């Protein structure tokens, strides 16, 4: 594990290579699963603010799900997430002509959990756990491209800040060269 400020970062973030391959997975992470994309409390207001511009980009079923459930719901564990369409796809999913699941929010406001994926962040009060979520639907992305911390630099900086990211790089370099 790598310690960065008050975060415990899994070694996988430094060691595993990853590169999304939409041609292979068809955006299954937006469709599969038993709950919507995890949301932080402050993201609800952001989603509500962009909703008028997002609604025309959404499917009819997605618009109906948001009308009935709102932009965020609590799952069975009490965690906040995006609503689902009939317990399946995220309400904000849309589809390309070739059937690839895409996000209607993409250009206006991407939820942090989606921007960071396959990294998952869990806040435990005194510390934050930063882990690589290995999901079978992403098998075609695993081992390709850059190390996760490089591939996901932009969302890591967005979530934790540049100083945190610079310290992560420093700790990885120390670990690899020390």
| Domain extents in the chain | 1-19+111-178, 26-109
In sequence order, what DSSP letters do the residues of 37-66 get, joined into one string?
Answer: -B--TTHHHHHHHHHHHHGGGS-HHHHHHH
Check if the beta carbon of residue 132 is closer than 8 Å to that of residue 119: yes
pLDDT at 40: 94
pLDDT at residue 156 is higher than 80: yes
**133, 126, 107, 108: which is closest to 38 by C-alpha?**
133
b/e 144-166 (16+ beta carbons within 10 angstroms → b):
eeeebbebbeebbeebbeeebbe
Kindly state the average pLDDT of the residues 66-82.
Answer: 94
pLDDT at residue 178 is higher than 80: no
Residue 27 CB neighbour total at 10 angstroms: 21
Nearest-angstrom CA–CA distance, 46 and 110 = 10
pLDDT at 74: 94
pLDDT at 93: 95
Taking all residues of the chain, what is their mean pLDDT, rounded to a whole number? 94
Kindly state the average pLDDT of the residues 121-143.
Answer: 92
pLDDT at 95: 94
pLDDT at residue 137 is higher than 90: no
The token duo for 153 is: 């630099």
Percent of the chain with pLDDT over 90: 78
pLDDT at 138: 87
pLDDT at residue 101 is higher than 90: yes
pLDDT at 46: 97
Percent of the chain with pLDDT over 70: 99
pLDDT at 76: 85
CA of 18: how far to CAs of 55, 117, 166, in Å? 31, 10, 20
């Amino acid at each position: 594990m790598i310690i960065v400020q008050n975060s415990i970062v899994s070694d996988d973030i430094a060691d595993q290579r990853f590169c999304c391959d939409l041609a292979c997975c068809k955006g299954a992470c937006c469709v599969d699963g038993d709950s919507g994309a995890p949301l932080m409390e402050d993201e609800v207001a952001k989603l509500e603010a962009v909703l008028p511009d997002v609604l025309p980009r959404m499917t009819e079923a997605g618009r109906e799900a948001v009308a009935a459930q709102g932009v965020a719901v609590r799952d069975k564990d009490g965690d906040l997430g995006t609503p689902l369409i009939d317990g399946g796809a995220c309400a904000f999913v849309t589809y390309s002509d070739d059937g690839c699941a895409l996000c209607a929010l993409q250009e206006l406001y991407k939820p942090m959990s989606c921007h960071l994926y396959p990294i998952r962040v869990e806040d435990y009060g005194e510390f934050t756990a930063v882990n690589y979520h290995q999901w079978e639907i992403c098998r075609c992305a695993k081992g390709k491209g850059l190390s996760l911390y490089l591939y996901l630099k932009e969302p890591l900086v967005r979530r934790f800040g540049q100083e945190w990211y610079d310290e992560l790089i420093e700790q990885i370099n120390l670990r690899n060269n020390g």
